[in-house]
Amino acid sequence: MYKKIYSLIKKYKNIVIARHIGPDPDCLASQVALRNIIKSKFPNKNVYAVGHSVSKFYHFGKLDKIREEIPKDSLLIVVDTPDKGRVDGVNISDFAYSIKIDHHPFIEKFCDLEFIDEQASSVCQMIIDLCDNTSLRLSKADAEILFMGIVSDTNRFLYYYTSAHTFEIVAKLIRKLKINTEELYAKLYARPLSEARLQGYIGMNMIVTDNKLGYIKISSEKISEFGVDSASAGNMINEFNNIKEIIVWMTFSQDPKNNIIRGAIRSRGPIVNEIASKYGGGGHKYASGLRLENWEQVDNFIVDLDNLCKKYIENNPEVK
């Protein structure tokens, strides 16, 4: 698979790298690093990392605006995105050939070549493997952003898909490329006081059901009161892990600009992405997200998740 991907990269002069809407550090880091890696090996190629940029993630590097029309004979690489509907900024049919590189559970085939490794902690990890198995080479700067992508997707090596291999490749980045993890952690976790205050608000106001489901609904008024954006609550959901009284926890925050309510879900047991996908969402077994239209849908979703927790506790009485 690595050799096949490499030969396709070698073949095309124009390459566009895309990823999912609502970008997170893993997809941004993997697309930007892959662009840089291809560019340094093949300086004459045109390689673009595309999609809406997010100012708070500026330290992952700049995205590209494509000014002229992309020639028909171009290669598309989509990273970290299991379904076509969530690809940001490109039309897959505009490309001569497409490759998907992803670690989410399979949803649909929409690329000509699909490299999916559900065991991989992150797409950043898969990009490092791609370099280790071909003649693509990592620079120190790219190793640094890929490290941040791995750290972020594994929540600092907490999640179950953090494997011996994850530690091995990170050890190699530290040993061979001398990345400074302390500096990178500081970059990745620096945040404004407004977000710490919002986190306090969530902690104080989270509703917890008898079935150990925790959730909070945050209106657009609240969001502007705290001076944060509608994605902030979802971005801090990992901070609520390891709380004894809850096994699944979720935030719902209103996004008036897009007229949706953003939901983020995390779990320490029940598999949540199946129900989320019924509501048009997706993600991993224990980490999932979705966009709902109104508070009524949110309430229905909460009832479904509460039932899921109830069943889970019935089958796993030690959780009680």
Q: Under the rule (CB under 5 A), what is the footprint of Mn ion? A: 26, 80, 122, 153
5/27 with CB nearer Mn ion: 27
CB of 279 to Mn ion, least distance (A): 21
CA terminus-to-terminus distance, the chain? 45
- Report the candidate in 222, 223, 204 with the shortest Cα–Cα distance to residue 214: 204
Contacts of 39 (CB under 8 A, 6+ apart): 45, 47
Compare residues 80 and 144 and give the one whose CB is closer to Mn ion.
80
Residue 189's H or E segment, with its range, is helix 181-189
Q: Give the separation between CA 102 and CA 82, rounded to whole angstroms.
A: 7
Query: What CA–CA distance (Å, rounded) separates 9 from 65?
Result: 20
Q: Which is nearer to Mn ion, 26 or 229 (CB)?
A: 26
Q: How far is the CB of 210 from Mn ion (least distance, A)?
A: 33
The least CB distance from residue 122 to Mn ion, in Å, is 5
Continuous segment of H or E residues that includes residue 15: strand 14-18
Distance of alpha carbon 26 from alpha carbon 126, whole angstroms: 11
Distance in angstroms (rounded) separating the CA atoms of residues 128 and 37: 10
> Is the CB of 123 or the CB of 275 nearer to Mn ion?
123
Question: By C-beta, is 51 or 214 nearer to Mn ion?
Answer: 51
Cα(313)–Cα(255) distance, rounded to whole angstroms?
33
CA-CA distance, 53 to 179, in Å (whole number)?
Answer: 25
Q: Is 32 or 228 the residue whose CB approaches Mn ion more closely?
A: 32
CB of 65 to Mn ion, least distance (A): 24
Q: What is the identity of the amino acid at 9?
A: I
Residue whose beta carbon is closest to Mn ion? 26
- Give the span between the Cα atoms of 7 and 104, in whole angstroms: 24
Contacts of 177 (CB under 8 A, 6+ apart): 138, 139, 140, 143
Nearest distance, CB of residue 103 and Mn ion, angstroms: 6
Smallest gap from Cβ 6 to Mn ion, in A, equals 22
Q: Considering the complex, state which of residue 154 and residue 211 has its C-beta at the smaller distance from Mn ion.
A: 154
In whole angstroms, how close is the CB of 102 to Mn ion at the nearest point?
8
